[in-house]
Amino acid sequence: MAKYEIATIDGDGIGPEVCQSAITVLKEACGAGLLSFTSHEGGADHYVRSGHVLPDDTYAACKAADAILHGAAGMPGVTYPDGTEVGNDLHLRLRFRLDLYANVRPIRLYQGVDSPLKHFKPGQIDYVIVRENTEGLYASRGGGIVLRDEVATDTIVVTRKGIERVARFSFELARQRKGAPRDGKRRVTVCDKANILRTYAFFRAVCDDVAAGYPDVEIDYAYADAITVHMLKRPDFYDVIVAENMFGDIISDLGAATIGGMGLSASAELGDTHGLFQGAHGSAPDIAGQNAASPLATILSGALMLRWLGDKHADAALTESAQRIELAVEQVLAKGDHVPRDLGGSASCTDMTQAVCRALSR
């Protein structure tokens, strides 16, 4: 029996391709006996077939597993009567029900990748966005109202408990890191709109309370609108950014754009017991089934999964495999003879998978 059971959900669009790619790389990196993967149904296509976006047995398997690896879910045409997309519920329900409160999204410029911010070299963009993942505006999904076809509401909700734990997570993460590339300072930037809304002023105040316990980490503040400018003009200033759910969703896509795009956007959604790993990109139905998607975001998310499992179980073999995968991806990008389409090349999903596997075995 393998030591760690990974529940996988392929999902929709390019989900199956990128998920299978990550599994291939993880198996190559860890060898036999360490991980076993079991695939489960879920997502928009499955909803069309069965009426369930997250079937009960998939949820039970995810809950019981050591970690969850997911491709991507969602189809633009598959919507509820209110117009919102069904596929997202696969993910959102897992977040809420498994209490995955910290959504970790590293933004790191690799050698060989052309950033639109040409002044910043690899190493000079290297920060992590920690998105609060269980509260905020998205927590009220499905609970808003549309009145008389005239007025619509959704309510933002934050709690001291929810903010405290994600702030603590962010400060602890900063302690493990080397500081911001610009000045080597360990820094947590709180991204909010404390100037406009009470919820965000409260978010900031609770982050301040938590910061008092971390005198070795600098606290910094940025309004959500202003940070979109700073992330382009001085990305090297950032080390860890903590943000309310919706702001974290938005700024993590922006951050990904500065390091080459969503094809490199790894993501780990962590709670105290469970962890879900997937690229932060969507299901890209326009290129699905063509072997055209870049699997790198999912592969890098797989490496985050190994790191998290390695820390949780004090298992050095996992941490070492995570490092090897990250290094292999770095080497493939730096070498530049296999470049995925989203980065201007023509390598297919399987080409990229094989290139990473070859780099692993060197």
Residues lying near ligand IPM in the complex (CB under 6 A): 88, 91-92, 249, 280
Instruction: Report how far residue 80's alpha carbon sits from residue 320's, in angstroms, rounded to the nearest whole number.
Output: 44
Least distance in Å: CB of 17 to ligand IPM? 17
List C-alpha distances in Å: 171 to 119, 273, 308. 29, 19, 17
Mark residues 240-269: x for contact with Mn ion by CB under 5 A, - for none: ---------x--------------------
- CA dihedral (306, 277, 247, 42) in degrees, to 10, reads -170
92 makes contact, choosing from ligand IPM, Mn ion, none, with CB < 5 to 8 Å by partner type, with ligand IPM
Q: How many residues does the chain have?
A: 362
Query: Which residue type, as a one-letter code, is found at position 240?
Result: V
3-state secondary structure 79-142: ECCCCCECCHHHHHHHHHHCCCCEEEEEEECCCCCCCCCCCCCCCCCEEEEEEECCCEHHHHCC
Q: At closest approach, how far in Å is the CB of 266 from ligand IPM?
A: 11
Whose tokens are 């890209």? That residue is 284
Tell me if residue 138 is catalytic: yes
For residue 80, how many other CB atoms are within 10 A of its CB? 11
Residue 68 vs 328, nearer CB to ligand IPM: 68
Q: Which of 253, 312, 315, 351 is catalytic?
A: 253
CA 14 to chain centre: 16
- Active-site residue identified among 4, 101, 138, 223: 138
Compare residues 240 and 339 and give the one whose CB is closer to ligand IPM: 240
Tell me which residue has tokens 């959704």.
154
Nearer to Mn ion, 223 or 247 (CB): 247
> Considering the complex, what minimum distance in angstroms separates the CB of residue 92 from ligand IPM?
5
Least CB distance to ligand IPM at residue 132 (A) = 11
> By CB under 5 A, how many residues form the interface with Mn ion?
1
Asked whether 296 and 259 are in contact (CB, 8 A), the reply is: no
- Residue 225 appears among annotated catalytic residues: yes
Distance CA 7, CA 65 (A): 6
Residue nearest to ligand IPM (CB): 88
Residue (89 or 249) nearer to Mn ion, CB: 249
CB of 319 to ligand IPM, least distance (A): 25
Q: Determine contact, residues 300/264, Cβ cutoff 8 Å.
A: yes
Q: Are 141 and 153 in contact (CB under 8 A)?
A: no
Query: Which residue is catalytic, options 193, 221, 312, 351?
Result: 193
Kindly tell me which of 12 and 249 has the beta carbon lying closer to Mn ion: 249
Q: Which does 91 bind (CB under 5 to 8 A by kind): ligand IPM, Mn ion, none?
A: ligand IPM
Q: Write down the least CB distance from residue 252 to Mn ion, Å.
A: 7
Please indicate whether residue 114 is annotated as part of the active site: no
253 a catalytic residue: yes
Is the Cβ of residue 12 or residue 17 nearer to ligand IPM in the bound state? Answer: 12
Instruction: Tell me which residues are annotated as active site.
Output: 138, 193, 225, 249, 253
